[in-house]
Amino acid sequence: MRQKTDTPSEQLSVIGRRKFINTAALAGLTVGVAACTDKPAGPAAAASPASAAGHGSSNGVHLKPGELDTYYGLWSGGHTGDMRVLGMPSGREIHRIPCFVPDALVGWGVTNESKAVMGTKADGSLRYTVADTHHTHASYKDGNYDGRYAWINDKINSRLARIRLDYFVCDKITQLPNVQGFHGIFPDKRDPVDPAINYTTRVFCGAEFAVPLPNNAGIEDGSKYRSLFTCVDAETMEVRWQVLIDGNCDLTATSFDGKLAATNQYNVEMGVKYEDMMSAERDACLFFNIARIEEAVKAGKFKTIGSSKVPVVDGTHEGNKDPKTALTAYVSVPKNPHGVNASPDQKYFICAGKLSPTATVIELAKMLNWFDGKLEKLDDAIVAEVEIGLGPLHTAFDGRGNAYTTLFLDSQVVKWNVEAAIKFHAGDKSAKYVVDRLDVHYQPGHINASQSETIAADGKYLAVGCKFSKDRFLPVGPLHPENEQLIDISGDKMVLLADHPVRGEPHDFIIFKRDLVKPKQVYSLDDFPLAVKDAKDSGVFRNGKKVTVKITSQAPAFSLREFKLRKGDEVTLILTNLDKIEDLTHGFAIPNYNVNFIVNPLETKSVTFIADQPGVFWCYCTHFCHALHLEMRTRMIVEA
Ligand code: K7E
Ligand code: CUA
Ligand code: CA
């Protein structure tokens, strides 16, 4: 079932990890997996000792003072609701990008501009203050990242956020209709029809939880719940269309030719209890024929659900029996698969088995043949289904034909060769597809390699998101950090390079070369319609009870030394930072009014509040900017 360990101490550490996961919550899973491993195990290489860590050479992980990282990493924050930017390979966190939830540093959720992106209720308060980000992917051109956008999902409230990669800020958030548990996302890589559109124009979103359609209260019959696959326009961020499906969606992948998208399905049973969800021996990888779906929408072959105007086409088994007209195809995959990933050679989608110790390789050319009516049996598109270890979850690639899959239950990464696996599956039992195994610490979920899911996969670094860190860092009370481990994959053997603690709880991430983005560090005044372009334009402008306060900042002073309001005024305060020097950010806090935000060079932001407390309030700069930073203040005087 699992490869032998060599030394007593290694055995002990394996027992330690085993014991660790032997909790009530995981016991069911372990039993489920054990039941699927009666088949003889595939060839397994000896485990690389964990002591490979820290091997003499630091391999560029520990940068010298002033040295810059060579890769960006975009990490989802999990239920902190943010996106994080890490420098790689150092693993240093450089930035957090607030999107779905408020952020006290930036004033995200405080300023009018950020509230407009986040969405508000009728009374102006935020619609949501919690989120759960899982997956992050960036826009493509010609099969590689083009540095325009990244996207990230909020599973709790079914929202998709877009991050502009010029300023590293969130500029749009869309809530998907008719779905719950929005989980997997992936941008397309080019248009399925128009060859001139060689870049991302759509983002595909998989919904994990089935719900009544429309979701009226009081529907208890779970067998009537349904799930949808959603397409969002990458530019407008409007929902373009949805597909009604059988089963559910989990993760999402897209082909390099733009023709196919897919989602792995772990609940083809459409169960509402976990026993039901794992009752079938095989689930599915559900393929979507994008061009055909969009033709159907154009031809008016859709319905709408409830108050939503989004066209919904039929992607169920029942409506798609003829391959030549099918919009969807359900390829079978063993029990409750997890990640689905596109190999950088553009040929395969790979599903990780989760409750099955296997990886399933599906050939995309064969899928296109099936849609053309030229492949007799749909499951003939499966070109390999091989045992790789216990609890496979996600797969990354090195661009040299090897795949790297996390094994949650084995606490390992397994390196395996895709073409060798295909040979083995075809009957060549001498084909050794497992190349290497490496213990990681502990229970890895997501995995990604530098440039992994692009045509420029470079096979240098592998990052592994270990869900448990247990004993790897100084204890800080009951909540442990997660452990993002970095592995050198440039050689035959994987070498563990570093542990990086991260605050809970990242899921997915991408790592790409630093020259693929061109960040701007100073705004332009014209980016903001409300900009106060000259300090002389500052002042208090009254229109009855509505008051506009215009202020500028320029180190070490605000343009107004004081400003007067009357109790009960509805105040909109607009602040433009006229400093145009890189890194010269100011803050603006109003005591007792729950206001604090920052303005970056040449940026404008505004806040609106009721001046309901009379008195003197020293508004001060919260962001260290100048030797006279502490003196940088203005008096807000509210007359009773
Ligand atoms: Cu990408 Cu964590 Cu949402 Cu797998 S999921 S681990
Ligand atoms: Cu301005 Cu500190
Ligand atoms: Ca299942």
pLDDT interval class at 216 (50, 70, 90)? confident
Q: Region 293-318: what's the mean pLDDT?
A: 97
Q: How large is the average pLDDT for residues 561-569?
A: 98
Give residue 22's pLDDT band: very low, low, confident or very high (50, 70, 90): very low
pLDDT of 338 reads 97
Mean pLDDT of 330-342: 98
CA gyration radius for the chain?
Answer: 27
Residue 159 Cβ contacting ligand 1 at under 6 Å = no
Number of Cβ atoms within 10 Å of the Cβ of 67: 11
In this predicted model, which residue has the larger pLDDT, 38 or 165?
165
The secondary structure of residue 536, as a DSSP letter, is: G
Exposure string of 104-122, with b = 16+ CB inside 10 Å and e = fewer, is: eebbbbbbbbbbebbeeee
* Helical segments of 317-454, H only: 364-371, 418-425
598 lines ligand 2 (CB under 6 A): no
Q: Would you state the pLDDT for residue 441?
A: 98
Span 393-449, pLDDT tens digits: 999 999 999 999 999 999 999 999 999 999 999 999 999 999 999 999 999 999 999
CA dist list (Å): 538 to 5, 547, 610, 636 = 72, 13, 20, 14
* CA 247–ligand 3 middle distance (angstroms): 9
Q: What is the pLDDT at residue 223?
A: 85
Give the sign of the dihedral formed by CA 573, CA 576, CA 582, CA 584: negative
Beta-carbon contacts of 457 under 8 Å, excluding residues fewer than 6 positions away, are 344, 397, 398, 399, 449, 450, 451
> What's the confidence (pLDDT) of residue 237?
98
Question: Distance, CA 23 to ligand 3 centroid (Å)?
Answer: 22
Q: What is the distance between the alpha carbons of residues 109 and 476, in angstroms, rounded to a whole number?
A: 30
Distances (CA, A) of 415 to 13, 274, 391, 525: 21, 30, 14, 51
Query: Who's near 133: CB < 8 A, 6+ residues apart?
Result: 76, 77, 78, 79, 80, 81, 82, 83, 99, 100, 152, 153, 154, 155, 507
Q: Does ligand 1 lie within 6 Å of residue 462's CB atom? A: no
Q: Which two tokens stand for residue 370?
A: 């099936």
Instruction: Confirm or reject: Cβ of 629 under 6 Å from ligand 2.
Output: yes
pLDDT, tens digit, 9 for 90 and up, residues 359-391: 999 999 999 999 999 999 999 999 999 999 999
Q: What is the DSSP letter of 329?
A: E
Using DSSP, state whether 52 is helix, strand or coil. helix
The verdict on the CB of residue 79 being under 6 Å from ligand 1 is no
Q: Which residue's CA is the nearest one to ligand 2's atom 1?
A: 586
- Give the sign of the dihedral formed by CA 234, CA 235, CA 239, CA 240: negative
How many Cα atoms within 13 Å fall on the side-chain side of residue 497? 24
Asked whether the beta carbons of 326 and 371 are under 8 A apart, the reply is yes
The answer to whether the beta carbons of residues 617 and 635 sit under 8 Å apart is yes
pLDDT of residue 220: 84
Q: How far apart are CA 163 and CA 149, in angstroms?
A: 6
pLDDT at residue number 217: 64
Nearest to 500 by CA among 517, 487, 513, 483: 483
Nearest ligand, CA 584: 2
Q: Which atom of ligand 2 is nearest to the CA of 623?
A: 2
- For strand 328-334 and strand 252-254, is the pairing parallel, antiparallel, or unpaired? unpaired
Looking from the CA of residue 625, the nearest atom of ligand 2 is: 2
Q: Do 270 and 246 touch, CB atoms closer than 8 A?
A: yes
Cβ 135 under 6 angstroms from ligand 1: yes
CA distance 145 to 396: 16
533 to each of 93, 122, 226, 272, 547, how far by Cα in Å?
A: 34, 31, 53, 58, 19
Instruction: Tell me how far the alpha carbon of residue 604 lies from the centroid of ligand 2, in angstroms.
Output: 15
Is the CB of residue 633 below 6 angstroms from any atom belonging to ligand 2? no
Give the separation between CA 22 and CA 269, rounded to whole angstroms. 27
> Measured from the CB, is residue 624 less than 6 Å from ligand 2?
yes
Residue with tokens 């039993």: 31
Residue 496: is it exposed, middle or buried by C-beta count within 10 angstroms (0-12/13-18/19+)? buried
- Give the residue with greater pLDDT, 164 vs 20: 164
Query: Tokens in use for 603?
Result: 């940026």
